[in-house]
Amino acid sequence: MLSQDDNERLVRIGPGTTMGGLMRNYWLPIFASADLEKDAQPQTVKILDEVMIIFRDSDGRVGLVDRVCPHRGAPLIYGRNEDCGLRCVYHGWKFDVDGNVTDMPAEPVRSRLKEKVKIKHYPCVERGGVVWTYMGEASEADRPPLPNFEWNMVSDENVVVTFRVQECNWLQALEGEIDSAHAPILHGRIDDGGSINQWVAKRDLRPKFECVRQDFGMSIAARRVLNDDTLYWRVNQFVMPFYSLVPPQANDFYELSGHAWVPIDDENTLCLMFSYRPDEPLNPKSREVFLRGHKGRETGHHSEAGHANLGPEVPYGRYVSRYRRETGYHFDYDLQKTTWFSGLPGLWVQDAACQSGVARVYDRSTENLCTSDTGIAMTRRMLLEVAGAFEETGKLPDRYNDPDLYKVRALSLKLPVDEPWADSGNQLMRANVGEPLGYEL
């Protein structure tokens, strides 16, 4: 379990907090590029408990600026996005993507006021269909490069990336994915249908765990008995500061997948999910069900039709889901009795309901951890060590600014009982874009 003080230290991420300060040293994925059109209506976002406005200007550049006009405090969400800037509708002050004031219509022509006023902004770059921002204090020359995550570097046809909002703190959400024990139970069926029921992990519901501390974070290996001679290993990865990587399953629709669990504030998380193949396009059927759902149910991805679309004034309003606490996650008791173990409509909904259904910040001091929670306990310990070092001396993790540190894959291996997974998987977990998995599923 986590003490109340330790839990607070890890989940509070606003300005002036330890974890918030730590995360500001990393590039943060915050929006889908495709959802920002030139000269279109701005959108409200909230990152690390800061509410901002995001827009794409006439030249295609992305701006992330304060939501408040520095003149008289008018809301910039109603600003006119035109002619390479965002113009406040109150008095017409206009701001570019770098926060500069480029026009003050009501001021004298010779006024130099616009040279003295600058709106808060954060730099943005785009890669692989994702907008990234840096909210730290380092100068442009001293900022780390973008992390070379494989999912953000493969060809468009190889990957699907989706966004949604989850109603709990980032750590509760992340811990759900590095927990490998729940998958064949929570996501299972009570009838004979579905791929989960045929999954080899379903044969052994009592996995044993081994955890290895890595430069990038933590490898969490779950060992299941396949037969007398063979063990089935699934190695999930936790990658600093808030990423989780999940191995492929052994079927024709394999893909590597995972999440970025980006803190919106202390009680809400932006969940970016990615699924990809490193060396070939995704199966077209996989892409279809990821984006559209399957027979009215959600997959690991949030479907396009499942968003509530609360509007541009609500932080991440376009990514808020219809499946949330106030709608009961669309739980169906009749289906729980006849078909689905959980009664919840799809993979990510099942996870979110368990992670967020009780409290946005759960009191972890009331938990009773067991052996299957080894990976969670070790990851928490590592995070507390990193947070403590940063709090005391400002020390950041070694190699945090090495872009190739993030070239990591999760693993799904079938090995002889006497063959250590770490020896066999050491090279296989290193990601090189364009290279196949290197093992049979």
Judge if 115 and 255 occupy the same domain. Answer: no
Question: Cα separation of 408 and 188, whole Å?
Answer: 28
Query: Is pLDDT above 80 for 1?
Result: no
C-beta neighbour count of 252 within 10 angstroms: 9
Domain that holds residue 345: 150-425
Does 234 reside within a domain? yes
DSSP character for 19?
Answer: H
| pLDDT above 90: percentage of residues in the chain | 83
Structural domains of the chain, count: 2
The reported pLDDT for the residue numbered 112 is 86
Does 124 reside within a domain? yes
Judge if 292 and 318 occupy the same domain. Answer: yes
Judge if 313 and 170 occupy the same domain. Answer: yes
Q: What is the CATH number of the domain that holds 309?
A: 3.90.380
pLDDT digits 0-9 by tens, 322-366: 999 999 999 999 999 999 899 999 999 999 999 998 999 999 999
Judge if 108 and 201 occupy the same domain. Answer: no
Judge if 117 and 266 occupy the same domain. Answer: no
Does 210 reside within a domain? yes
More confident residue, 18 or 179: 18
Q: What's the whole-model pTM score?
A: 0.94
The reported pLDDT for the residue numbered 76 is 97
Judge if 167 and 120 occupy the same domain. Answer: no
The reported pLDDT for the residue numbered 198 is 45
Q: Across residues 142-169, what is the average pLDDT? A: 97
Judge if 260 and 405 occupy the same domain. Answer: yes
The reported pLDDT for the residue numbered 204 is 54
pLDDT digits 0-9 by tens, 390-410: 999 999 999 999 999 999 999
The reported pLDDT for the residue numbered 194 is 52
Does 5 reside within a domain? no
Does 69 reside within a domain? yes
The reported pLDDT for the residue numbered 373 is 87
pLDDT digits 0-9 by tens, 244-290: 999 998 777 899 999 999 999 999 999 999 999 999 999 999 999 99
Q: What is the CATH number of the domain that holds 61?
A: 2.102.10.10
Judge if 198 and 336 occupy the same domain. Answer: yes
Does 143 reside within a domain? no
Does 12 reside within a domain? no
Judge if 392 and 294 occupy the same domain. Answer: yes
Say which amino acid occupies 60: G
Contacts 24+ apart (CB under 8 A), 257-262: 257/300, 258/151, 258/177, 258/410, 259/173, 259/174, 259/177, 260/29, 261/170, 261/171, 261/173, 261/174, 262/28, 262/29, 262/30, 262/47, 262/170
